[in-house]
Structure 1
Amino acid sequence: MNRSGIASDLRAATAVEVTRDRNGVDQVVLRSRRGASARVSLYGGQVLSWRTDQDEELLFTSSKVKSFEFRLRVCLTVEGNLTMISRIRNINCKPFSFSIAFHTYFSISDISEVRVEGLETLDYLDNLCQRERFTEQGDALTFESEVDRVYLSSSDVIAVYDHEQKRTFAIRKEGLPDVVVWNPWEKKSKSMVDFGDEEYRQMLCVDGAAIEKQITLKPGEEWTGRLELSVVHSG
């Protein structure tokens, strides 16, 4: 990615600033008219920060995280919503298939104070049980231990409620039928070199994804996936 390409793609923001991090890697900072902001590293297009107009950080980043690459088109709306769009085109002469997930790590008050709604009665694959298939029974998903699941054929809107912070994350998605929910909990956190031992308490991963059924593109076809994140405060 180059600077001009990023800037031209992100015109929904009132202000676009190009800076560099301490390692000399270019970053783009988007600021809406109301003061919300997003920071995107040009190394792989990684979204590093999403802040409200009250300077409240909404994304979780481990203090021990390592760099990785991916490519996204990122837009910050006037209202401060964060939109990520991925486009994949088959420029080969043969069909190809792929799976995809938008890894979204929400910053939360405490994992015990959070619930997820919109997954009720759905089937899911449990990665902690050799991807065995189960059906969600509860009215809302709450957390008391490690979770690593793929919920299948979900609705296009999922809500994450943080009781202590009195805020709700809304996840709206297109082209992404599945939802990944992940929290490593205490034991696994301690075994991860790029994750703090207690950081599982302050994060929850809820991904829009296409996993169970791979997406297949014929030559010349293009797939678009879209994920919009917004936050509403109730107090």
Structure 2
Amino acid sequence: MSTEKTPSSASSSSSYVFCKGFNGLDKVLLRDARGSSAEVYLYGGHVTSWKNEHAEELLFLSSKAIFKPPKAIRGGIPICFPQFGSLGTLDQHGFARNRFWTIDDCPPPFPTNTLNKAFVDLILKPTEDDIKIWPHSFEFRLRVALGPGGDLMLTSRIRNTNIDGKPFSFTFAYHTYFSVSDIRQVLCLLVFSEVRVEGLETMDYLDNLQKKERFTEQGDALTFESEVDKVYLSTPTKIAILDHEKKRTFVLRKDGLPDAVVWNPWDKKAKAMSDFGDDEYKHMLCVEAAAIEKPITLKPGEEWKGRLELSTVPSSYCSGQLDPRRVLQGS
């Protein structure tokens, strides 16, 4: 059963369908006028689907994803807060991705224009158990929106609501899983299949596979032949993922998120994960807008905003290379 809701509040131009998903978990469906859509589970504030106007899925979601709390959902766009990685007593990548969010019917005004956009506002506040492991009071507001052209936009606003006068610091990432044709560089039937990332050339990165040692990226683009787990530092506001076989380019635009994570577990680690298919690593790539190297610190009453916009454009293939320059240099 589903119901359509239009909140009579600051988000009165929003409309969405509220319904049940896997294992009875609440979810929200967004759809724009041209037929693009997005699916957001209240568990984790988690975007699990983003489809274009041709109903083609653009995000990767594992066929073995476990929609059962407290396990985080494997795929889509998990939200990593208040930490990225594993530190101290907090869960891996923090707890926001395995908490129940609620619909925010009375959000403060968002500066973004909401004309002709389907969107939903969610909010997360700490439970008593959360405060025991991370002793801070906060309000985390998340807007998930579809633009008129089918672009997917996520805007996070985190406010320090401590009444004891104490600041807090956090790291953050939109752990986005993109669906790609084949991550490996392979020659099949005389057709060269390639997925590559443009926009991170010459950037410094921390290699999590080499004890977070710092390196500088070499070469014209990132291509993939084995496991990768890198945190790129002080990256451009625009990054492109090119998929030769699908003739599709994903464009990431980010604000307030200086870093970018690139991750693929490859075959051995894929087989070791119970919620990940053995061969599914071939068809996914995580490129994540993040704030990791320099934690964000908020004093009581202060608010941080981090925004991610995802879009797709057709790719061209010429002289043996995909041509992303017009994408990265364009609007």
**Cα drift, residue 20 of structure 1:** 1.1
Counterpart in the other structure of 1:178: 259
Can you list the C-alpha shifts for 1:97-138, whole angstroms capped at 9, x where unaligned? 100010100000000220000001010000000000000011
**Equivalent in the alignment of 2:158:** 88
1:66 CA drift (Å): 2.7
Matched ranges for 1:153-232 at <5 A: 153-232=234-313
Deviation at 1:7, TM superposition (A): 9.1
Map of 1:47 onto structure 2: 47
Amino acid at match of 2:43: Y
Cα separation, 1, equivalents of 2:12 and 2:262: 31
Letter in structure 2 aligned against 1:206:
V
Structure 1 gap segments, 5+ residues each: none
Mapped partners of 1:197, 1:106: distance in 2? 17
TM-score (norm 2): 0.67
Please identify, of 64-73 and 96-105, the stretch whose mean Cα deviation from structure 2 is larger. Answer: 64-73
Q: How many residues align?
A: 232
TM-score, normalised relative to structure 1: 0.93
How far 1:212 sits from its partner (Å)? 0.5
| Aligned residue runs from structure 1 range 12-27, under 5 A | 16-27=16-27
* 2:183 alignment counterpart: 111
Asked whether the equivalents of residues 119 and 158 of structure 1 are also in contact (C-alpha less than 8 Å), the reply is yes
C-alpha distance 64-229 of structure 1, shift in aligned 2 (>3 A)? same
For the residue of structure 2 that corresponds to 1:187, the secondary structure is helix
Identity %, equivalent residues: 63
2-side partners of 1:217 and 1:79: how far apart? 35
d(CA) in 1 for partners of 2:55, 2:303: 37
Which runs of structure 2 are paired with 1:5-16 in the superposition (5 Å)?
16=16
Q: Is the 8 A contact 1:90 1:218 kept in 2?
A: yes
AA aligned to 2:214 is R
Letter in 2 for 1:48: T
Cα drift, residue 42 of structure 1:
1.8
Change (3 A) 1:12 1:150: farther
* Aligned CA-pair RMSD: 2.0
Work out whether residues 12 and 75 of structure 1, in 8 Å CA contact, stay in contact via their aligned partners in 2: no
Deviation, structure 1 residue 23: 2.1
Alignment pair present for 1:100 and 2:172: yes
Q: Larger radius of gyration, structure 1 or 2?
A: 2
Q: 1:32–1:95: structure 2 CA closer, same or farther, 3 Å change rule? A: same
Further displaced range: 200-209 or 90-99: 90-99
Q: How far apart, in 2, do the equivalents of 1:8 and 1:194 lie?
A: 39
1:131 to 212, 217, 227: 212
Structure 1 residues 110 and 90: CA distance shift in structure 2, 3 A: same
Structure 1 pair 226–139 and aligned structure 2 pair: CA distance change class (3 A): same
The 3-state SS of whatever aligns with 2:260 is strand
- Distance, in Å, in 1 between the alignment partners of 2:277 and 2:180 is 15
User: Matched residues in 2 for 1:187 and 1:216: separation?
Assistant: 37
Counterpart code for 1:163: H
- Structure having greater relative contact order (Cα 8 Å, sep ≥ 6): 1
SS in 2 for 1:111: coil
